[in-house]
Structure formats: C-alpha cells, structure tokens
Structure 1
Amino acid sequence: MEIAALGLGRLATAALWLAAAALVLMTVVIAAQVVFRYGLNSSIVWSEPFAVILMGWFIFLGAAVGIREGYHLSFDILLFVLPERVKLILYSISDILVIAFGFGMLWYGGQLAASAYEVKLPSLGVSGAVDFAPLVGGGALIVIFSLERLARRAAGLPTSRFGDAAEAAAETREG
C-alpha cells in the first residue's frame, strides 16, 4: 500500500508542477499578447485559444490534487458532533460521489474529444480534441485519487484530510 501511495504521491506532485507550469506559461502568453497588441500594434493569433487550453490544464490538474490532499471546501459543522465511525462513512460516501463526478468528466470529456477530433483549431492548427484533453486528464486523476482515499480509509491509513497527512503518518509510524 505504501509503494502505491508513494507512486500516487509522485503523480500528484507531477500534476501540481504541470499545473504550475501551465499557469506560468499562460501568464507569459497573455502578457506577450498585451505587449504585441498594445505596444506593437500587432496580435498573436494563437494566444487566446492556447491560454484557454493551459487554463483548463492548471484548473483540472490542481482540482485533482486538491481532492487527493483534502483541500476542497466542505461543510463540516455536523461532523463535529458525530462519532468517528459515522464520519468515516460520510467521508467515504463523499469520495464515492467524487469518483462518479470524475468518471463523468472522463467519460463525457472523452466523448467530446472524440467528436471534436476531426475539427482543426484554426489558430493553433491542432485537433479540437486538445480542448477537451484537460477534462479527460483531470477526470482520470480525480477518479484515481478518490479511489486512493477510499483504499487508505479502508486500510485505516490517513487520507490527507486538510493537509494533516504528514502528522497522521508520523503518528501511525510511531504508534
């Protein structure tokens, strides 16, 4: 289980680095577009669709990592008064619903990509399926990371809820 967690941790780290790189690259492309349009009275025709694709990647990769790490918004007030076993059941139900959502992203994003495969994006000269690749990739990672959370919870391991994984892991190793 720990080897799989290490591999998924590396996958999450890689996804986070890719998301950060996409954000930085998008910022550079938009800044260049502003300079070209208003400073040089010219325009970079591919900047807007390319920036939108990059935005899709950093949003969906970041969302998947956020799900793995437990950083998404939640309404936990009820959980303060419930027994630990009930909390674990509710967390598992939540993860199952997130898996269904991620699978929907993967499935329907794949259908959208397949339907746009023959279409060429004129300003980029690539297949229209590229527009939907972040949806498919993000959905796949959401499914994988949510399954990991369920497996870790079933094994009695910490699920990285609200960033406390390092502390919980240390307690597990010491105990």
Structure 2
Amino acid sequence: MQKIMKKVARVMAFLARMSLWLSGIGLVLMTAFITYQVFGRFVLNNTPTWTESWSILIMGWFIFLGAAVGTREGYHLSFDVLLYILPQSVKNVLYTISDIVIAAFGLGMIYYGVQLLDKTWQSTIPNIGISGGWAFVSIIMGGVLMTLFSIERILRRACGMVTARFGETELPEEDR
C-alpha cells in the first residue's frame, strides 16, 4: 500500500506545485494589472476599466489554489498547544479528524460553488465580456483540490507515512 501511496503522493505533489505556480503567476498578474490601473488613472488620466474585473477573478484563483496547497502541506490554521502533551496515537486521530473536516469543507465549496456558478452563468461581467460564472470556478477547483489533498493526507497517515508533525512525511523533499 505504501508503494501506491508514494505514487499518489508524487502526483499530488505535482498538482500542489502547479497550483502554487499558478497562484504565484496570478499574484504577479494582479499586481501588474492594479499598477497599470493606478498609472492610467493618475498619470495618463485614462483609467482602464478592465483591470479591476480581471484582478478580482485572478485573486479568487490564487487564494483558493494557495489555500488548497496550504491544506496539503499542513499550514492551515490550527491550535497545536494540546498536541504537545498528547501521545502520537491520539495526535494521529486528531489530525485525521481535522483532515475529515477540511475535506467536508472542500466538498461544501464544490457543492455551493456549483450552485453559484449555475445561477450566474447567464450573466456577463461587463468590463471583460465573459460569463459571471467564471468567478466561481476557482471556488470549485479549490474545493476539489482541498478534498483530494485531505483524503491523501488521511490515506498517507493510514499507511504510516506521516510522522509526528502535521506536515512531515517520509517522502524526500523533492517528491513532496
């Protein structure tokens, strides 16, 4: 089972790496668009109207993709004080409960994101001329990745691949 999980972990690591790259590119693009908007408004006296709409769309992508990667790496918000005094077996149970809750949250993001997408698909974002539903695709994708990464963490833990700290694994750094 560990051999299969190591292969799965490599695929998930690739997904996480690509998500992180897309998040970084999105952050740079959003910053460039907002900089151009400020330059156009105050220097050229001609404000580009498309920059804000695109920036908001891009911001959704880098937030939700980055949050999913944070889930995989164990960097989400947690309260660890009690974990310092508990035995490892109890810690593993609590970690698994945490991952189940995160997976449920991801499933909720998918479910409600699809509803939002369905209700807004027929509308158009005026400044850029695309469907308003695209604003919610990032929520759905973030939910899919959060759910996948949480399930992966649960399965790795069941195979004995997660050690004492939340984000540590037996995989070499380059395979994470």
TM over 0.5: yes
Question: Is the contact made by 1:69 and 1:161 (CA closer than 8 Å) also made in structure 2?
Answer: no
Question: Is the contact made by 2:88 and 2:164 (CA closer than 8 Å) also made in structure 1?
Answer: no
Hey, what's the Cα distance between the residues in 1 that align with 2:168 and 2:90? 20
Hey, what's the Cα distance between the residues in 1 that align with 2:152 and 2:15? 12
* Residue type of the alignment partner of 2:39: V
Partner of 2:168: 164
Question: Is the contact made by 1:149 and 1:159 (CA closer than 8 Å) also made in structure 2?
Answer: no
3-state DSSP of counterpart to 1:18: helix
Deviations 1:71-130 (A, max 9, x none): 122111111111111110011001000011010011101110111000011111000011
Question: Is the contact made by 1:152 and 1:159 (CA closer than 8 Å) also made in structure 2?
Answer: no
Q: C-alpha displacement at 1:14, in angstroms?
A: 0.2
CA separation of 1:124 and 1:26: change in aligned 2, threshold 3 A: same
Partner of 1:11: 15
Structure 1 unaligned spans of 5+? 171-175
TM-score (norm 1): 0.92
Q: Percent identity?
A: 49
CA separation of 1:25 and 1:161: change in aligned 2, threshold 3 A: farther
Q: Does 1:143 align with 2:144?
A: no
Structure with the higher helix share, 1 or 2 = 1
Partner of 2:92: 88
Q: Following superposition of structure 1 onto structure 2, how do residues 15-54 of structure 1 map, counting pairs within 5 Å?
A: 15-54=19-58
* Residue type of the alignment partner of 2:67: A
The list of structure 1 runs, each at least 4 consecutive aligned residues, that deviate by more than 4 angstroms after superposition, is 159-163
**What's the Cα RMSD here?**
1.5
**Number of equivalent positions:** 168
TM-score (norm 2): 0.91
Q: C-alpha displacement at 1:160, in angstroms?
A: 9.6
CA separation of 1:161 and 1:67: change in aligned 2, threshold 3 A: farther
Deviations 1:128-158 (A, max 9, x none): 0111111111011000000000000011102
Question: Is the contact made by 2:117 and 2:133 (CA closer than 8 Å) also made in structure 1?
Answer: yes
Partner of 1:153: 157
